[in-house]
Amino acid sequence: MDDLTSRDDEKTRQQAIEKGRKEEQDRLRDEQKAREQAMDKGRKEEQNLQREREQVIEKGRKEGKEQERARNKGNGGFGMKVILGIIVLVIVILAVSLLTLTVSVTNVTPGNALPFTTNYGVSFPEGQTITIGNTHINVLSFQNELISDIDGDRQKLVVGEDRIISERHAVITTLRAITLMETNFKIDLKYKGERDNRAYFDMAVHTSKQVPDMLLKQLLPPEIDARAI
């Protein structure tokens, strides 16, 4: 009987010890699990904070770029307005300069060096007085000849013959005060024939200085339809 009781007590103690060990294991497991959950929660919270920080940084970067773009756009717009204003001013000045171009022609003693030559094809309307500088020209065809009148000096021309406008001095100014160029010039005309009441010539303009075509054409009236050749 005592042996049975002892065995039961021993079994009970063993069961109590086993139960205590299991409870301890469960407690340790729960604590470990709680620690892991706490660590996982902490990691998630840290990740969330990191994401929020990155979002704040990215937002600030975007706002900074937008502000920089806005500043550049404002500066660019102002700069573009300045450039456009300068271009418009230059165009206005050029237009006024062209509109106020004038040529003053006077007689000069011939014999100066005229090393530069520009050639044109021209046609004179018959019976109409044309002015080149201070020279008045009128042409009229008759049968196979052309009667050319230059400042009252009449000559008959046949195809291939020449007439000369003697040397003159020209001063080209703009804005009524600014002298652009001065040059001596002489004009040679070679008669090419008549068609549709217009007399055609090869014209050679000899000048003492190299004159831009735009300025040289200021000497030539539009009625003669001068075209460079």
Rounded to whole angstroms, the Cα distance separating 112 from 77 reads: 56
Cβ atoms 27, 33 nearer than 8 A: no
Are 125 and 141 in the same domain? Answer: yes
End-of-domain residue from the set 99, 134, 162? 99
Predicted pLDDT of residue 33: 80
Are 82 and 133 in the same domain? Answer: no
* The pLDDT of residue 51 is above 80: yes
Are 74 and 148 in the same domain? Answer: no
Are 23 and 82 in the same domain? Answer: yes
Residue 10 is part of which domain span? 1-99
Rounded to whole angstroms, the Cα distance separating 176 from 98 reads: 11
Are 51 and 151 in the same domain? Answer: no
Are 119 and 94 in the same domain? Answer: no
Are 190 and 94 in the same domain? Answer: no
- Taking the C-alpha atoms of 57, 61, 67 and 73 in order, what is their torsion angle to the nearest 10 degrees? -170
Are 112 and 14 in the same domain? Answer: no
28-53: average pLDDT: 78
End-of-domain residue from the set 59, 84, 99? 99
* The pLDDT of residue 73 is above 70: no
Are 86 and 43 in the same domain? Answer: yes
**Sheet with strand 178-195: strands edge to edge:** 102-107, 162-174, 178-195, 198-207, 116-125, 227-228
Is the Cα torsion angle 111, 122, 125, 154 positive or negative in sign? positive
Predicted pLDDT of residue 4: 56
Are 112 and 89 in the same domain? Answer: no
**Residue whose pair of structure tokens reads 């049968």 in the numeric block:** 143
Residue 190, CA distances (Å) to 146, 158, 161, 165, 203 in order: 12, 10, 6, 11, 7
Rounded to whole angstroms, the Cα distance separating 37 from 57 reads: 30
Are 58 and 160 in the same domain? Answer: no
Predicted pLDDT of residue 86: 85
Rounded to whole angstroms, the Cα distance separating 155 from 152 reads: 10
End-of-domain residue from the set 99, 132, 161? 99
Rounded to whole angstroms, the Cα distance separating 39 from 30 reads: 14
Rounded to whole angstroms, the Cα distance separating 20 from 12 reads: 12
Per the structure, the count of domains in the chain is 2
Predicted pLDDT of residue 14: 78
Are 93 and 3 in the same domain? Answer: yes
Q: Name the region of 182 (left: φ>0; alpha: ψ -120 to 50; beta: rest).
A: beta
Question: Where is pLDDT greater, at 204 or 215?
Answer: 204
C-beta pairs of 220-224 under 8 Å, 24+ apart in sequence: 220/120, 220/122, 220/132, 221/130, 221/131, 221/132, 223/124, 223/125, 223/128, 223/130, 224/122, 224/123, 224/124, 224/130, 224/132
Amino acid residing at 123: S
Predicted pLDDT of residue 85: 79
51-69: average pLDDT: 79
pLDDT digits (tens, 9 = 90+) for 118-165: 999 999 999 999 999 899 999 999 888 999 999 999 999 999 999 999
Angle CA 74–77–78, to nearest 5: 90
Cβ atoms 67, 132 nearer than 8 A: no
Please provide the distance, in angstroms rounded to a whole number, between the alpha carbons at the two ends of the chain: 148
pLDDT digits (tens, 9 = 90+) for 77-122: 667 777 887 888 778 766 665 666 788 899 998 889 999 999 999 9
